[in-house]
Amino acid sequence: MGLSHDIRSAINPILPYLPHILASLLLLSYVKAWYGLRQFRGPWPAGFSYLWMATVVGGGRMNIKFNEVSKQYGSRLARIGPEDLITDDPDIIRHMSSARSTYYRSEWYAAARLDPYVDNVISEMDNASHDKIRSQIAGAYAGKENHHLEEDIDEQISSFISLIRRKYLSSGANLRPMDFGRKAQYFTLDVLTKIAYGDAFGYLKRDEDVHEYIETIESMMPSITFFSCVPLANNFLNRSWVRKAFGPSPMDKKGVGKLMGVAQRVVSDRYGANRKEKMDMLGAFVRHGLPQRRVEAEVLLQIIAGSDTTATGVRATMLYLITAPRVLQKLRAEMDDAEATGAISSPITNAEAKELPYLQACIKEGLRMHPPFTGLILKRVPAGGDVIGGQFVPGHTRIAHNTWAVQRSTIYGDDPDMFRPERWVEADADMKVKMERNLELIFGYGRFGCLGKSIAYIELNKIFVELLRRFDIEVVDPTKPLWNSVNFNMHLQHHQWVRISEREARQSQL
């Protein structure tokens, strides 16, 4: 009782000044946050709190906003948070991600733990553990253990064509509009599930969002993007008691818990006494020693990382093609000449597609104009700090990739904001190498590079030829937005309404 009285007696004289004390402490915390990176320019609110960054990533246009930051405050390093910088300098990005780099993963990666109880190859924070798991699964992503990879992709392209002819083929005044954005994602999901698990889930055959996957991803990506960028929020989310109290369960009927249950079912028959062995990606994971629970986490990641990004590559490039008549005409002329001379098969092979220079230029230009993944991929500077471009960057600072801005570099010429595939054909040998090295950064770099890049390119090499050799594809209403597209690390895109008809010049041949 006496101690309590003494405490009150000590506090009472301070009470009138308490608001001023709290305000001073808050101001001091803001000044401290700003001071460490005071030499770097950026939006002034970004230096004091994460409110500015949270607002940007929550607005669905983070790719555009961060591009504006690099333009206004400097492309090498600009400030976007209390301990955060962003770069669109390719050399800095390579420096951070090289095999011998001492930079390490920030909390940004932890937010990619889609199964909140088990890490995957992206969310694994420890570099040594990440390198080990990556080496175990790299062969599977390269397609080395799936001897029918191309045939499996061809099968899903055939299913896509069948869906169009079955439900969405227009003729004359008979309009049967198709949301190309949604169907492109059905296509990449069926490709992924076929080559990874041996059987396509049937998005194209059923023409529906199987397991409500797309609905789930579109609902969760804004929060994942927020948690990936704000360290305090991420640290709270990953506390064990929070996961235990609020985390999803494979028994859930909706959301990520339902997808966890799907992953469990997909994986379950590959383990145990009666396990099935298949020459697919999942079989490769098992053969390389991944435990069952870890494979379940990788499967959950695969469905997102292996389908959404490639879907964006398909729908964005197709949009650029059908809204650029000159480019489309030139691409079709190359395709038709190749077919007439027997240079391409039906379906086209990956090797044949690589020999069509204008097709390759269109694919590269589509990826450059609309990089499928624009997450900040924040890495931390080593404890001792680093000197970048003559500026000292304190240890533990987070540095983000500005992928969108990297692909609008003047290395591509004076018109980097324009879709012009000719730049890839006109460039001399040295410049083309520089451009291609720059383009490759959309897939990450070095030890953190995208594992599924080669599979994505096979899909892109095939899909445009197989659709455009058969169909005329037009925008339904050019007076309206060409699609509904928002950006939360990845692009969520639909309502890309098109009219598809049999290609008039080819009807008698196909």
The Cβ of residue 350 has, within 10 Å, a number of other Cβ atoms equal to 16
Mutual orientation of helices 180-197 and 149-163 as an angle, nearest 10°?
150
Pairing of strands 484-488, 490-494: antiparallel
**b vs e for 382-401, b when ≥16 Cβ sit within 10 Å of the residue's Cβ?**
eeeebebeeeebeeebbbbb
Q: Measure the CA–CA gap between 186 and 202, rounded to whole angstroms.
A: 8
Contact between 296 and 263 under an 8 Å Cβ cutoff? The reply is yes
> Is 450 among the annotated ligand-binding positions?
yes
Geometric angle at alpha carbon 434, from 363 and 324, rounded to 5°: 30
| Alpha-carbon gap, residue 490 to 462, rounded angstroms | 23
CA pair distance 334, 469, nearest whole angstrom? 11
How far apart, in whole angstroms, are the C-alpha atoms of residue 282 and residue 195?
9
Q: Across the strands, what pairs with 475?
A: 498
SS3 state of residue 1: coil
Nearest of 42, 34, 36 to residue 69 by alpha carbon: 42
Of 500, 510, 497, 473, the C-alpha closest to 171 is: 500
Of 356, 310, 350, nearest to 331 (Cα)? 356
**Tokens representing 126?**
């420890």
| In 341-484, alpha helices (H) | 350-354, 357-369, 403-406, 422-426, 429-439, 453-468
Specify binding-site residues for heme.
Answer: 450
Q: Provide the annotated binding site.
A: 450
